[in-house]
């Protein structure tokens, strides 16, 4: 299932944030509501419960742009899987202002050092760090 594949690969980015999955697969909406005797579906259900997301149904006729994107590209002999992924795959996440600020703080080298110092117990800090 595409949702499970995506959640497994983007786990580090999606855990802890709210997001919306828009799909034309209406059965996905009811997957968590009904217990399944199929072990594979039960495992998928357990895996997706880690994430905080809403599923919205949109009819396939209104998702033709997505269908075109999902078609397998014709490979040139010089194309590699990495170059295809770089050129063709874009993931859009809607982050809150707080999430964006947090990501920027963790990317800043000076703030990284300050965060590490603040996480230390006071007695473990050097005189300069205090």
Most confident range (mean pLDDT) of 51-65, 73-87, 90-104, 115-129 is: 115-129
Specify the higher pLDDT residue, 64 or 31: 31
CA pair distance 39, 68, nearest whole angstrom: 32
From 24, 43, 72, the end of a domain falls on 72
Question: Residues 44, 86: one domain?
Answer: no
Question: Residues 5, 24: one domain?
Answer: yes
Question: Residues 5, 52: one domain?
Answer: yes
Q: Note down the domain range covering 37.
A: 1-72
Instruction: Please provide the average confidence, as pLDDT, over all residues in the chain.
Output: 75
Task: Note the pTM of the prediction, 2 decimals.
Answer: 0.44
CA pair distance 19, 16, nearest whole angstrom: 10
CA dihedral (115, 116, 122, 126) positive or negative: negative
Question: Residues 5, 65: one domain?
Answer: yes
Question: Residues 66, 81: one domain?
Answer: no
Query: How many domains in the chain?
Result: 2
Rg for the chain, CA atoms, rounded: 21
Rounded to the nearest 5 percent, the helix, strand and coil shares of the chain are 55, 10, 35
Question: Residues 68, 90: one domain?
Answer: no
Q: Is residue 114 predicted with pLDDT exceeding 60?
A: yes
Query: Strand 18-23 to strand 52-57: parallel, antiparallel, or no bridges (unpaired)?
Result: parallel
pLDDT of residue 122: 87
Beta partners for residue 56, in sequence order = 22
Question: Residues 85, 125: one domain?
Answer: yes
Smallest Cα–Cα separation from 48: which of 94, 95, 5?
Answer: 5
């Amino acid at each position: 299932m595409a949702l499970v594949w995506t959640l497994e690969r983007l786990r580090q980015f999606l855990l802890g944030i709210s997001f919306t999955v828009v799909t034309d697969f209406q059965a996905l909406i009811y997957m968590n509501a009904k217990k399944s005797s199929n072990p594979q579906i039960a495992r998928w259900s357990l895996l997706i419960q880690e994430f905080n997301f809403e599923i919205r149904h949109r009819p396939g006729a209104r998702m033709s742009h997505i269908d075109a994107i999902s078609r397998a590209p014709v490979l040139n002999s010089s194309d590699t899987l990495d170059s295809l992924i770089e050129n063709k795959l874009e993931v859009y996440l809607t982050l809150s202002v707080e999430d964006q600020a947090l990501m920027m703080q963790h990317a800043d080298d000076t703030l990284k050092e300050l965060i590490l110092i603040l996480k230390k117990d006071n007695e473990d800090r050097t005189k300069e760090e205090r």
